[in-house]
Structure 1
Amino acid sequence: MVDEKDPQAVALGYVSEAKRADVKKYAKYAAGQNCTGCALYQGKAADKAGACPLFAGKQVAGAGWCSAYAKKA
């Protein structure tokens, strides 16, 4: 799992629970966004965690969020 204190995670504003996203710093965050709804997330929607190419070799929380969020098509 990605640690929120990992330098890459800090740079992207990653949090393991989307509701804790820094909305002042990341104004594009909107309620309901999380890793399972992101185009980069490689797990299934029901998975608690899945791979993300931004964090090579590590998994992100399905309920997480980062500033690279891109809604799945």
Structure 2
Amino acid sequence: MSNIKRRDFLKLSGGAIIGLTAGGFTLSASAQEKVDLDNPTAKALKYVHESTTEGANCDNCMHISGNEGDEWRPCALFQGKLVSSNGWCAGWVKKPGG
């Protein structure tokens, strides 16, 4: 087993946490374009801008990120694209605790 000093461990851990946090901000900042309904991924996942499934929409899905309350937000399933908070797709999974 490696003998890492406590101070070195804390430096490495802190750097990793900052890196992960900055990565989340980058995902939010890079998604600028709204998902087009003709997008192949949108078609495969049957994405719609307005959910017809009661109690299930992008706003309460675990894949969405960004600021709650925003009308269009980044989604992990549609890299670099924004989805409607009122939308829905076949990849919908209820947000834990939501």
TM-score normalised by L of structure 2 = 0.61
**Bigger radius of gyration:** 2
Shift of 1:32: 1.9
Partner of 1:4: 37
Instruction: Report 1 or 2 for greater relative contact order, CA contacts < 8 Å, sequence distance ≥ 6.
Output: 1
Find the aligned partners of 1:47 and 1:38 in 2 and give their Cα distance.
Answer: 14
> Which stretches in structure 1 are left out of the alignment for 5+ residues?
20-29
Secondary structure in structure 2 of the residue aligned to 1:9: helix
> Aligned-pair RMSD on alpha carbons?
1.0
Find the aligned partners of 2:95 and 2:86 in 1 and give their Cα distance.
Answer: 15
Q: 2:85 aligns with which of 53, 59, 62?
A: 62
TM-score normalised by L of structure 1 = 0.80
